[in-house]
Amino acid sequence: MNNKIWLSSPHMGGAEEKYVKEAFDTNWIAPLGPNVDGFEKDLEGYLGSDVHVAALSSGTAALHLALIILDVKADDEVICQSMTFAASANPIAYQGATPVFVDSEDRTWNMSPEYLEKAIVDRISKGKQPKAIIVVHLYGMPAEMDQIMAVADRYEIPVVEDAAEALGSTYKGRKLGTFGAMSILSFNGNKIITTSGGGALVSKNEEWIKKARFLATQARDNAPHYQHSHIGYNYRMSNICAGIGRGQMEVLQERVEARRSNYNFYKNELDASIFKFADEPTAEYFSNRWLTTVIVEHPERVIDREVIRLALEKENIETRPLWKPMHLQPVFEGAPFYGDGTSEQLFEKGLCLPSGSNLTFEEKNKVISNIHKVFAASIA
Ligand SMILES: *Cc1c(COP(=O)(O)O)cnc(C)c1O
Q: What are the residues whose beta carbons fall under 8 Å from the beta carbon of 187, sequence distance 6 or more? A: 59, 193, 194, 195, 196, 197, 198, 199, 200, 241, 245, 248
Decide the pairing of beta strands 132-136 and 174-175.
unpaired
Closest ligand 1 atom to residue 197 Cα is 7
Q: Does the C-beta of 56 come closer than 6 Å to ligand 1?
A: no
> What pLDDT tens digit does each residue of the chain (380 aa) get?
458 999 999 999 999 999 999 999 999 999 999 999 999 999 999 999 999 999 999 999 999 999 999 999 999 999 999 999 999 999 999 999 999 999 999 999 999 999 999 999 999 999 999 999 999 999 999 999 999 999 999 999 999 999 999 999 999 999 999 999 999 999 999 999 999 999 999 999 999 999 999 999 999 998 999 999 999 999 999 999 999 999 999 999 999 999 999 999 999 999 999 999 999 999 999 999 999 999 999 887 789 999 999 999 999 999 999 999 999 999 999 999 999 999 999 999 999 999 999 999 999 999 999 999 998 888 76
Q: Ligand 1 centre and the CA of 365: distance in Å?
A: 29
* Nearest 10 degrees: Cα torsion 296, 298, 302, 306: 0
CATH fold of 253-379: Aspartate Aminotransferase, domain 1 (3.90.1150)
Q: Which CATH class is domain 16-252?
A: alpha beta
C-beta neighbour count of 18 within 10 angstroms: 11
pTM above 0.75, yes or no: yes
Q: What are the strands of the beta sheet with 170-171, ordered from one edge?
A: 174-175, 170-171, 285-286
User: What is the DSSP-derived secondary structure letter of residue 142?
Assistant: P
* Cα of 187 from ligand 1 centre, angstroms: 8
Cα(345) to centroid(ligand 1), Å:
23
Q: Whose CA is nearest to atom 11 of ligand 1?
A: 88
Instruction: List the catalytic residue out of 131, 175, 191, 364.
Output: 191
In angstroms, the CA 187 to CA 358 distance is 17
Centroid of chain to Cα 243: 22
Asked if 314 is an active-site residue, the reply is no
Query: Best of 165, 167, 236, 248 to mutate for ligand 1, by most ligand atoms within 8 A of CB?
Result: 165
Count the Cβ atoms, other than its own, within 10 Å of residue 46: 16
Q: Give the start-to-end residue ranges of the domains of the chain.
A: 16-252, 253-379
